[in-house]
Amino acid sequence: MSRQRGMSSLALVLLLLVLGTLILTGLNQQLTTFSALVGDESRSLQQQASVQSALEWGRVQDWSSEPQIQCKKASSWRVCLRLLSEKDVLLIAGVNDLLLWRTGEIIDGKIRFSPHGWSDFCPLKGSVLCLLP
């Protein structure tokens, strides 16, 4: 009889080890998945901050009223000013595939951008005009 008690105790310990291993494996898979999600979110936030910086950098640049489309580049940023009419302008900033826009107008020969800030969707009906040239 004492021999059977020792085997059942050993079987119980082995069962606990197997269950613990299964739980730890599942938790490790969850951690890996969440880590990938957090990494993607972090990269997305960094890219969004970068394109917002590009838009702000473009806003403070000296732009002329000619030609119709002007572009400037700094590091990975690309910012273009598109003259839409005699008084309306559109500032387009892009980093990789992400674009932001800011509308403005020409007042007394100077470009004044909208105080309402940037837009993450094209403010024009013609989406071709919202792309970086």
Cα of 86 vs its chain's centroid, Å: 33
- pLDDT (tens, 9 = 90+) of the chain, 133 residues, equals 455 557 888 888 999 999 999 999 999 999 999 999 999 999 989 999 999 999 999 999 888 877 889 999 888 889 999 998 888 999 999 988 899 999 999 888 888 998 888 888 888 887 788 888 8
CB atoms closer than 10 angstroms to residue 43:
10
The pTM for the full model equals: 0.72
User: What backbone phi and psi angles, to 5 degrees, belong to 59?
Assistant: -65, -35
User: Token pair for residue 13?
Assistant: 């310990």
